Amino acid sequence: MIVTKFVIFRGKQKLVSDLSKNSSFKVEVLCSICNKTRIVTYRSVCSAGHTDCIRCVNSINFRRDLVIGDKYGLVTILNKTDKTGFSLGVCDCGVIKVFSNERLVSGMTKSCGCLRGKNKPPEILKGKFHPNWKGGISPERNIFMQSNEYKN
């Protein structure tokens, strides 16, 4: 709910309801969930469509319990935990672990950590194993100047 009724525009009072949706006037709003007031621009209220604070919106979206049996990446939800915003899940590799609901829903967590080892590049990226390798076409002069014989 918008608490401010009037704003000052060019020395005159103007109703907040008469402002355009892109107006940058600051208005005082009341969060309908936590009942705290804060000052924001009128355009942010219009674009969001509500006056709730971001903390309350996130608590509604991410603190809810996930459905048992749902799958997020490689993680399947087994049960809810005593801690709000966390669920017990099992990864496809067999590891049972407590996962953050927010990170699972947003896609930031896809597994228990078992994917980290699979995404590593090969250890040796020199010579013909390097992706930019063009078949050893360096001029002989460059090869000789890089040798220990030339450097000594």
Residue 143 has pLDDT above 90, yes or no: no
Range name among 90-99, 101-110, 113-122, 140-149 with the lowest pLDDT average: 113-122
Domain spans of the chain? 6-61, 64-111
User: What pLDDT, in 10s, does the model give residues 10-39?
Assistant: 787 888 888 888 888 888 888 888 888 898
**Which segments within the chain are labelled E, that is strand?**
6-9, 12-15, 26-30, 37-41, 71-72, 75-80, 86-91, 96-100
Amino acid 23: pLDDT: 86
Arithmetic mean of pLDDT, 119-140: 76
Amino acid 121: pLDDT: 62
- CA separation for the pair 24, 39 (Å, rounded): 12
Residue 9 has pLDDT above 70, yes or no: yes
Arithmetic mean of pLDDT, 111-116: 84
Question: What does 92-131 look like in DSSP terms, one character per residue?
Answer: TTS-EEEEEHHHHHHTS--SSSTHHHHTPPPS--SGGGST
Based on its alpha-carbon atoms, the radius of gyration of the chain, rounded to whole angstroms, reads 29
Amino acid 32: pLDDT: 86
**Cβ-based neighbours of 74, under 8 Å, separated by 6 or more:** 91, 92, 93, 110, 111, 112, 114, 115
Arithmetic mean of pLDDT, 111-135: 77
Residue 3 has pLDDT above 80, yes or no: no
Q: Quick one: how many helices (H) and strands (E) in the chain?
A: 6, 8
- What value does the mean pLDDT of the chain take? 84
Amino acid 120: pLDDT: 64
Ranked by mean pLDDT, the top range of 58-67, 77-86, 132-141 is: 77-86
Arithmetic mean of pLDDT, 111-119: 78
- CA separation for the pair 126, 116 (Å, rounded): 23
